[in-house]
Structure 1
Amino acid sequence: MHNPKQPTNIDQSRRSFLKGTAAALTGTALPGVLYVDAAIANTDAIHHIANRAVKGASALAPSAGKKTISILIPGGSGGNLTPFLEEWKTLTGLAVDLIEVPNTELYSKAMQEAVAKTGQYDLIIGPVFALPDFTEAGLAKDLDLYVERYQPELDHGAYRIPYPFSEFGCKYDGGYRALYADADNWALYMRKDWMEDPAEQAAFRAKYGRDLTAPDTWEDYDQLIEFFTRPEEGRYGSLEYRAPFYTKWQWMQRFCSKGMLYFDKDMNPLCNSPEGIAALEELIASEAYLPKEAFTNGWSENYNQYGIGNVFSTFSWPSFFRYNNDPAISEAVAGNLLSAPVPGTRIDGELIRASVNAFGWLYVVNEHSAIPELAYLFAQWHTAPDVSDRAIPMNGGYFDPTRTNHFKAPGAAMKEKYTQAWLHAAWDQIGDVIPDFVIRGTFEYSEALDRNCVEAVLGKKSAEEAMNDAAKEMARITRRMGKERQIQSWNSLARTFPEKIKARHGVHTWT
Structure 2
Amino acid sequence: MTKIRTRGLTRRALMRGAGSGIAAYAVAPMLAGRASAQAGDLATIHETAAAAAKKLAEGRSVTLKILQPSGSLGNVKPVADRFTEATGIKFDYIEVPLGEINQKVLLEAVSKSGAFDIALPATFGIPDLAESGILVNLDQYAQKYEPADYQKDALYTIGDYYKGSLYGYQTDGDTYLMFYNKPWLDDDAERKGFADKNGYELKVPDTWQELDQMLAWFHRPDKGKFGGALFRTQYFIAWEWWGRFHAKGFYPLADDLTPQINNEAGVAALEELIAASQYLYPGAKTNGLFENFEAFGEGDKFANIGWGGTQKFLNSDKSKIKGKLAFGDMPGGLVNGELVRTPYFNWGWNYIVSSVSPEPEIAYLYTLFAASPVLSTIAVRDPAGYFDPTRNAHYEDAEIKRTYSPEFLVAHKASMINSIPDLYLKGQGEYFDELRVNIAAADAGTKTAKAALDDTAAAWARITRRMGARSQEVQWRFLKSNYPAGIRDKLK
Contact 1:390–1:414 (CA under 8 A) maintained in structure 2 = no
* Per-residue deviation, 1:156: 4.8
Measure, in 1, the Cα distance between the counterparts of 2:176 and 2:148. Answer: 25
Q: Which amino acid aligns with 2:368?
A: Q
Measure, in 1, the Cα distance between the counterparts of 2:472 and 2:315. Answer: 42
Q: Which residue of 2 aligns with 1:50?
A: 46
Listed one character per residue, the Cα deviations across residues 275-317 of structure 1 (whole Å, up to 9, x for unaligned) are 1000000001111101121111211111111111111111111
Measure, in 1, the Cα distance between the counterparts of 2:197 and 2:381. Answer: 42
Measure, in 2, the Cα distance between the counterparts of 1:228 and 1:81. Answer: 42
Q: Which residue of 1 aligns with 2:70?
A: 75
Q: Which residue of 1 aligns with 2:20?
A: none
Q: Which amino acid aligns with 1:125?
A: L
Measure, in 2, the Cα distance between the counterparts of 1:491 and 1:303. Answer: 36
Which of 258, 263, 266 is 1:268 aligned to?
A: 258
Contact 2:174–2:347 (CA under 8 A) maintained in structure 1 = yes
Measure, in 2, the Cα distance between the counterparts of 1:348 and 1:261. Answer: 16
Listed one character per residue, the Cα deviations across residues 432-476 of structure 1 (whole Å, up to 9, x for unaligned) are 311112110011000011110000000000000001000000100
Contact 1:49–1:153 (CA under 8 A) maintained in structure 2 = no
Say which SS state the counterpart of residue 126 (structure 1) adopts: coil
* Per-residue deviation, 1:108: 2.1
Contact 1:182–1:401 (CA under 8 A) maintained in structure 2 = yes
Say which SS state the counterpart of residue 121 (structure 2) adopts: strand
Measure, in 1, the Cα distance between the counterparts of 2:147 and 2:115. Answer: 25
Of 256-265 and 54-63, the range deviating more from structure 2: 54-63
Q: Which residue of 2 aligns with 1:31?
A: none
* Per-residue deviation, 1:209: 2.5
Q: Which residue of 2 aligns with 1:197?
A: 187
Q: Which residue of 1 aligns with 2:454?
A: 468
Which residues in structure 2 correspond to 1:100-499 (within 5 Å)?
A: 100-153=95-148, 156-157=151-152, 160-162=153-155, 165-168=156-159, 170-326=160-316, 328-330=317-319, 332-407=320-395, 410-499=396-485
Q: Which residue of 2 aligns with 1:34?
A: none
Contact 1:80–1:395 (CA under 8 A) maintained in structure 2 = no
* Per-residue deviation, 1:365: 0.2
Listed one character per residue, the Cα deviations across residues 158-216 of structure 1 (whole Å, up to 9, x for unaligned) are xx112xx2122x11110111011011110111011111122222222222222211111
* Per-residue deviation, 1:395: 2.8
Contact 1:259–1:500 (CA under 8 A) maintained in structure 2 = no
Say which SS state the counterpart of residue 248 (structure 2) adopts: coil
Of 412-421 and 245-254, the range deviating more from structure 2: 412-421
* Per-residue deviation, 1:155: 5.6
Measure, in 2, the Cα distance between the counterparts of 1:418 and 1:354. Answer: 22
* Per-residue deviation, 1:242: 1.0
Listed one character per residue, the Cα deviations across residues 456-499 of structure 1 (whole Å, up to 9, x for unaligned) are 00000000000100000010000111111111111111222233
Q: Which amino acid aligns with 1:79?
A: G
Measure, in 1, the Cα distance between the counterparts of 2:217 and 2:168. Answer: 45
Q: Which residue of 1 aligns with 2:26?
A: none
Measure, in 1, the Cα distance between the counterparts of 2:477 and 2:248. Answer: 20
Q: Which residue of 2 aligns with 1:59?
A: 55
Say which SS state the counterpart of residue 235 (structure 2) adopts: coil
Contact 1:152–1:380 (CA under 8 A) maintained in structure 2 = no
Measure, in 1, the Cα distance between the counterparts of 2:314 and 2:397. Answer: 21
Say which SS state the counterpart of residue 426 (structure 1) adopts: helix
Q: 1:154 to 1:479 in 2, by over 3 A?
A: farther
Say which SS state the counterpart of residue 322 (structure 1) adopts: helix
Measure, in 2, the Cα distance between the counterparts of 1:367 and 1:314. Answer: 40
CA RMSD of aligned residues (A): 1.6
Contact 2:42–2:150 (CA under 8 A) maintained in structure 1 = no
Measure, in 2, the Cα distance between the counterparts of 1:195 and 1:292. Answer: 22
State TM-score, norm by structure 1: 0.86
Contact 1:180–1:361 (CA under 8 A) maintained in structure 2 = yes
Q: Which amino acid aligns with 1:442?
A: Q
The runs of at least 4 consecutive aligned structure 1 residues that moved more than 4 Å come to: 152-157
Q: Which amino acid aligns with 2:129?
A: F
Q: Which amino acid aligns with 2:405?
A: T
Q: Which amino acid aligns with 2:55?
A: A
Contact 1:155–1:166 (CA under 8 A) maintained in structure 2 = no
Say which SS state the counterpart of residue 129 (structure 1) adopts: helix
What is the aligned-residue identity percentage? 35
Listed one character per residue, the Cα deviations across residues 11-62 of structure 1 (whole Å, up to 9, x for unaligned) are xxxxxxxxxxxxxxxxxxxxxxxxxxxxxxxxx9663121111111111121
Q: Which amino acid aligns with 1:450?
A: R
Listed one character per residue, the Cα deviations across residues 328-373 of structure 1 (whole Å, up to 9, x for unaligned) are 211x200011111111111122111112211111011001100111
Of 414-423 and 452-461, the range deviating more from structure 2: 414-423
Q: Which amino acid aligns with 1:249?
A: W
Contact 1:154–1:166 (CA under 8 A) maintained in structure 2 = no
State TM-score, norm by structure 2: 0.89
Of 304-313 and 449-458, the range deviating more from structure 2: 304-313
Contact 1:78–1:396 (CA under 8 A) maintained in structure 2 = no
Of 495-504 and 93-102, the range deviating more from structure 2: 495-504
Contact 2:335–2:490 (CA under 8 A) maintained in structure 1 = no
List runs of 5+ in structure 2 lacking aligned partners: 1-39
Measure, in 1, the Cα distance between the counterparts of 2:105 and 2:416. Answer: 30
Q: 1:209 to 1:227 in 2, by over 3 A?
A: same
